[in-house]
């Protein structure tokens, strides 16, 4: 998505591509795209200033029955020809505002991201926050699940899953990916190279530059497609297009994609390692003469992330399933430490390049079930709080944290081990999110209420494995 598109550029796109329909997309509180579509009779350049009205009363997390009339304000910079519609359709991402006051709706995630970027500038610390997420996901052949009062089941499958090593395939040729051995195999072991290539090329056609794509560690089609870093809001927009394009390319091939953090037992889950850097006047602020070539600003930023990480997880790892990935001693970094090159630390300082422009931190705890607008904004606010209050991140830990003896490990703080723990952490620590009115008290209270209901929904239901453990008690 070119950031410099104007309304007149969009009108030219409509003419050049014989567009017949315009699709207006916006994000609900939990991070899922919603949309409505108009014909060209409802479109003109004024829509970028005046917006279009809609009923917001049924959008998840909004609950605005008494003030449900809202406006979508489309952003010309996000214009894209939606290739998954039969008729030529222009797609636009929108921010939500009140139709009377014209103020941003405080539960609109994209509006939160806009306020986060404005707050960064107001601090004088920097003017641009760059984010580079590495989202992982599974490409399955099938996903089935159901829950009733007396029964439940789930089943996901992939032809390359190691459990299919005895399946009749007429003929069976082998080439199944063993558990935890899916990192970088070539075809024919890697059966999804062409699909990932297609996903990557469609992302680039949409204006989202791709760094690399590859099979990930787990069996059964785990994948990663990395995109080039971008400013906060633009990257969150790109992540919404990213999920949409990847899911729909998979559907072309009669496959299904999930960003669920832990869909398989006994193999790696899917994270979203997130690279962050702050710039001012086109100069990187994280490069310096400190540990791993970091500046004092970068080290204090790390201090803020580590200090607020338990509360952050309620936004960066917002599902009950997230905490089946965040398990000490397994694949996810749960220990709140930082290190150069060490991937067992929650924050890593990449060392691929000595260039000051490449200097960044990598927060490895988040997963892609997060709403990117909210997660990126919260990470930024936590880091800025570290800079403003000069929060010392402590000494780096260059040991393998997965192999530390229990007495040493007990001295290192860790993220919560459940969504309930994350909720409690956010309840106790959210003042940093209220700076600049990026989030507000109503938003936090509403988010906590939604997350508690999700936690309760799982807590109240019998789990299938409980029958294995307890049926004969």
Pairing status of strand 80-81 against strand 283-284: unpaired
Pairing status of strand 33-39 against strand 338-340: unpaired
Tokens of 458: 């799982």
Give the three-state DSSP class for 315. helix
Whether residue 403 lies in the annotated active site: no
Residue 228: what are its φ and ψ, rounded to 5°? -65, 145
Whether residue 216 lies in the annotated active site: yes
Catalytic residue among 364, 367, 385, 430: 364
Beta strands in 269-387 (DSSP E): 272-280, 283-284, 338-340, 347-349, 361-363
- Report the alpha-carbon distance of residue 296 to residue 11 in Å, rounded: 47
Residue 148: what are its φ and ψ, rounded to 5°? -125, 180
Residue 240: what are its φ and ψ, rounded to 5°? -70, -45
User: How crowded is residue 39: how many other Cβ atoms within 10 Å of its Cβ?
Assistant: 10
**DSSP character string of 348-375:** EE--S---GGG--EEE-S--TTS-HHHH
Tokens of 472: 């004969």
Tokens of 324: 């089946």
Alpha helices in 41-136 (DSSP H): 47-50, 109-123
Q: What angle do CA 283, 298, 310 make, to 5 degrees?
A: 135
User: How crowded is residue 228: how many other Cβ atoms within 10 Å of its Cβ?
Assistant: 13
Whether residue 348 lies in the annotated active site: no
Query: Tokens 């017949």 belong to which residue?
Result: 20
Catalytic residue among 273, 275, 307, 308: 273
Contacting residues for 235 by C-beta, under 8 A, at least 6 apart: 130, 131, 132, 133, 227, 229, 372, 376
* DSSP letter (8 states) at residue 66: G
Q: Is 291 left (phi over 0), alpha (psi -120 to 50) or beta?
A: beta
- Report the alpha-carbon distance of residue 456 to residue 450 in Å, rounded: 10
Whether residue 9 lies in the annotated active site: no
Whether residue 214 lies in the annotated active site: no
Whether residue 181 lies in the annotated active site: no
Catalytic residue among 362, 367, 385, 430: 362
Residue 127: what are its φ and ψ, rounded to 5°? -125, -10
What is the Cα gyration radius of the chain?
Answer: 23
Catalytic residue among 216, 226, 237, 331: 216
Whether residue 142 lies in the annotated active site: no
**Is 369 in contact with 261 (CB distance < 8 Å)?**
yes
Catalytic residue among 9, 23, 214, 343: 343
- Report the alpha-carbon distance of residue 434 to residue 432 in Å, rounded: 5
> Is residue 434 packed enough to be buried (19+ CB in 10 Å), middle (13-18) or exposed (0-12)?
middle
Whether residue 275 lies in the annotated active site: no
Whether residue 411 lies in the annotated active site: no
Which residues are designated catalytic? 55, 134, 136, 216, 224, 273, 343, 362, 364
């Amino acid at each position: 998505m070119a950031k410099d598109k104007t309304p007149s550029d969009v009108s030219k796109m409509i003419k050049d591509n014989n567009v017949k329909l315009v699709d207006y997309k916006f994000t609900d509180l939990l991070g899922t795209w919603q949309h409505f579509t108009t014909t060209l009779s409802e479109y003109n350049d004024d829509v970028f200033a005046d917006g279009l009205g809609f009923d917001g009363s049924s959008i998840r997390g909004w609950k605005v029955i008494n003030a449900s009339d809202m406006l979508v304000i489309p952003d010309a910079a996000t214009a894209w020809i939606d290739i998954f519609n039969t008729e030529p359709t222009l797609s636009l991402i929108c921010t939500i505002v009140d139709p009377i006051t014209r103020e941003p709706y405080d539960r609109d995630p994209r509006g939160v991201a806009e306020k986060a970027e404005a707050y960064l500038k107001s601090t004088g610390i920097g003017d641009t926050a760059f984010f580079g997420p590495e989202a992982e996901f599974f490409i399955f052949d099938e996903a089935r699940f159901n829950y009733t009062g007396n029964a439940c089941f789930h089943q996901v499958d992939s032809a390359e899953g190691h459990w299919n090593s005895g399946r009749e395939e007429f003929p069976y040729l082998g080439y199944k990916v063993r558990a935890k051995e899916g990192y970088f195999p070539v075809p024919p072991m890697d059966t999804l190279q062409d699909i990932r290539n297609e996903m990557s090329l469609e992302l680039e056609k949409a204006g989202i530059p791709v760094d690399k794509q590859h099979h990930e560690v787990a069996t059964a089609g785990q994948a990663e497609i990395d995109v080039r870093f971008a400013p906060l809001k633009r990257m969150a927009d790109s992540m919404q297009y990213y999920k949409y394009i990847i899911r729909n390319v998979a559907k072309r091939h009669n496959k299904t994609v999930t960003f669920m953090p832990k869909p398989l037992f006994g193999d790696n889950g899917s994270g979203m390692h997130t690279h962050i850097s702050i710039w001012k006047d086109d100069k990187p602020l994280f490069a310096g003469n400190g540990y791993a070539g970091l500046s004092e600003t970068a080290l204090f930023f790390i201090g803020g992330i580590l200090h607020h990480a338990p509360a952050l997880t309620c936004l960066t790892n917002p599902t009950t399933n997230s905490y089946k990935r965040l398990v000490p001693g397994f694949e996810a970094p749960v220990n709140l430490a930082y290190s150069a090159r060490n991937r067992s630390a929650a924050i890593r300082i990449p060392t691929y390049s000595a260039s000051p422009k490449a200097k960044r931190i990598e927060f490895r705890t988040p997963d892609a079930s997060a709403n990117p607008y909210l997660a990126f904004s919260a990470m930024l606010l936590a880091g800025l709080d570290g800079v403003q209050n000069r929060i010392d991140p402590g000494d780096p830990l260059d040991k393998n944290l997965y192999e530390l003896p229990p007495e040493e490990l007990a001295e290192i703080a860790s993220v919560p081990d459940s969504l309930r723990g994350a909720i409690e952490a956010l309840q106790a620590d959210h003042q940093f999110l209220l700076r600049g009115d990026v989030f507000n008290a109503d938003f936090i209270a509403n988010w906590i209420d939604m997350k508690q209901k999700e936690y309760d929904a799982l807590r109240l239901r019998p789990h299938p494995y409980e029958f294995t453990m307890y049926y004969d008690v």
